[in-house]
Amino acid sequence: MAAYASLNQVHDELTLAYSITTNDTELSNLIGLIDSHINLRLQKYTSLPAQTEIASQLAYIEARWVASAFRFRRATPQEKQQYQAELTNIEQEFQAFLNNNFRTSFRAVSSNTDRYAPIDYGQFNNQDSGAGY
């Protein structure tokens, strides 16, 4: 299954020219890692591969996530907190994406179902260690 974000989209997020390929192996590995994380959580709500309109939204999130993880890996101790906050914001954006696109499907069962629906808040939520990247 192809990743949601392309290497070129990640280059765009990093404002890195496509011709600069020095970090492409690492970026490709990060794309694979984050793509697996997204799919692991997404498969609880829908079949994979994701529908086109969902996949295009995920491509944007994934490209930003990969770029932020890449920056976090290279951050000085003084910059770590800034990039950790950025990673946390993207994780929250992904969680909002899951809630907005899939939580409503639980409401049809009963009025109490939505309150107790098992929405996945992710294994990396509230960690300050760079979310495993």
Neighbours of 132 (CB within 10 A): 12
* Residue found under tokens 């799919």: 39
Alpha helices in the chain (DSSP H): 7-13, 24-42, 52-74, 77-102, 113-116
Rounded to an integer, the average pLDDT of 13-31 is 97
Most trustworthy range by pLDDT among 31-40, 93-102, 124-133: 31-40
Contact 117, 103 (CB under 8 A): yes
pLDDT band at 121 (very low <50, low <70, confident <90, very high): low
- Taking the CA of residue 129 as centre, how many other CA atoms within 13 Å lie in the half-sphere pointing to its CB? 5
57-74 pLDDT per residue, tens: 999 999 999 999 999 999
Task: Determine the pLDDT at residue 4.
Answer: 94
